[in-house]
């Protein structure tokens, strides 16, 4: 009896194993069939009735569909970017590769200034800085401290400054014209005071070698931009004649880093002694301020610019009606 039970149990176990193997095979075949159907529907398999020639056709069609989908996605992204730009939801700094280069006229509108001390014959002191011609008649914006004597009082001699214009950026400019003071803002106790002065080119420098015989019909000048619209991240460039620039025209760029008070812009663009009174330019090479100070930390420095919007307001509302050279901000 025991042998018959044992034999029956062995037969039953064999049957179970066979059924298990058959069931597994059926599941595998079913899975392969479903996978094959999905791949065929998506274009990854070809129909056996069409032969191998259908594979190339299927691949091309898939490639075309993929390109169309990619172009549609790119179009959607471009539309989204334009929407963000229009809504000004994120800053989009200008592409530096598409910034217009300075023209010869714009370069010559950034001048170097040599301003002899009122007591020059006694002490030989000359204040040297930069300036920007902003009108075809020869009006120059600069800093008050550029037109200052050694004791920081404002120069009252005539000419106030000699003006050098760059003909070739590889060589230092030579003095060609003479300019007198039109107006200046008085100094106050605030470190970031309204440090601005206005000069007017009134004649050529007859004793200067290489100077022209007469004034030009019009001077090259810089167009004026807007400073109140500038925000951190916006492009800015500094042009002038820093002492570390080998006495030739110098151009550095960076971004607007922030603001200080009503009329001061901060920038990481390089500013050094001699840049004072020069040009701070936007991405269209329009004047947006006058570089005035630099503060050095332990490893880096920060430049400061007097904003053009406040300079123009001061000039139009206070300088023009005034009969005095000293015009408070």
Question: Which positions ≥6 away from 298 have C-beta within 8 Å?
Answer: none
Dist. CA 20–CA 22, nearest whole Å: 5
Report, in angstroms and rounded to the nearest whole number, the Rg of the chain calculated over CA atoms: 38
Please state the domain extents for the chain: 2-83, 104-204, 235-319
pLDDT digits (tens, 9 = 90+) for 81-103: 777 767 665 455 555 556 888 99
pLDDT greater at residue 153 or residue 21? 153
pLDDT digits (tens, 9 = 90+) for 256-284: 999 999 999 999 988 888 889 999 999 99
Dist. CA 230–CA 258, nearest whole Å: 9
Burial 274-292 (b: 16+ CB within 10 A, else e): bbbbbbbbbbebbbbbbbb
Dist. CA 276–CA 311, nearest whole Å: 15
Dist. CA 293–CA 192, nearest whole Å: 8
Q: DSSP strand E in 68-123: where?
A: 110-116
Structure token pair of residue 308: 């053009």
8-state DSSP, 219 = -
| Average of per-residue pLDDT across 48-69 | 45
Residue 66: is its pLDDT beyond 80?
Answer: no
Please tell me the pTM assigned to this model.
0.70
Domains 104-204 and 235-319 share a fold: yes
Neighbours of 90 (CB within 10 A): 9
Dist. CA 114–CA 127, nearest whole Å: 6
The correct answer on CATH 3.40.50.720 for the domain covering 235-319 is no
Classified by CATH at the fold level, domain 104-204 comes out as Thrombin, subunit H (2.40.10)
Asked if 242 contacts 172 with a C-beta cutoff of 8 angstroms, the reply is no
Dist. CA 156–CA 69, nearest whole Å: 72
């Amino acid at each position: 009896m025991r042998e018959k039970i044992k034999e029956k149990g062995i037969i039953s176990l064999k049957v179970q194993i066979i059924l298990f193997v058959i069931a597994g095979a059926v599941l595998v075949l079913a899975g392969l069939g479903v996978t094959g159907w999905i791949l065929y529907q998506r274009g990854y398999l070809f129909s056996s009735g069409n032969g191998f020639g259908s594979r190339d056709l299927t691949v091309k069609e898939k490639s075309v569909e993929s390109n169309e989908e990619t172009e549609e996605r790119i179009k959607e992204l471009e539309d989204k970017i334009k929407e963000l730009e229009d809504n000004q939801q994120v800053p989009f700094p200008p592409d530096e590769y598409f910034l217009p280069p300075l023209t010869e006229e714009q370069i010559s509108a950034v001048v170097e200034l040599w301003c002899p001390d009122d007591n020059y014959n006694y002490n030989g002191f000359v204040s040297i800085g930069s300036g920007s011609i902003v009108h075809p008649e020869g009006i120059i914006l600069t800093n008050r401290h550029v037109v200052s004597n050694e004791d920081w009082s404002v120069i009252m001699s005539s000419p106030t400054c000699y003006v050098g214009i760059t003909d070739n950026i590889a060589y230092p400019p030579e003095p060609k014209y003479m300019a007198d003071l039109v107006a200046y803002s008085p100094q106050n106790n605030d470190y970031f005071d309204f440090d601005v002065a206005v000069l007017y080119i009134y004649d050529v420098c007859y004793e200067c070698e290489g100077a022209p015989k007469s004034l030009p019909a019009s001077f090259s000048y810089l167009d004026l931009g807007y400073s109140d619209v500038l925000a951190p991240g916006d492009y800015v460039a500094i042009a002038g004649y820093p002492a570390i620039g080998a006495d030739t025209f110098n151009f550095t760029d960076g971004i607007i880093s922030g603001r200080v008070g009503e009329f001061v812009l901060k920038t990481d663009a390089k500013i050094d002694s001699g840049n004072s009174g020069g040009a701070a330019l936007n991405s269209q090479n329009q004047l947006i301020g006058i570089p005035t100070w630099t503060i050095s930390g332990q490893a880096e420095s920060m430049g400061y610019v007097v904003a053009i919007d406040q300079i123009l307001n001061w000039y139009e509302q206070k300088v023009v009606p005034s009969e005095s050279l000293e015009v408070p901000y």
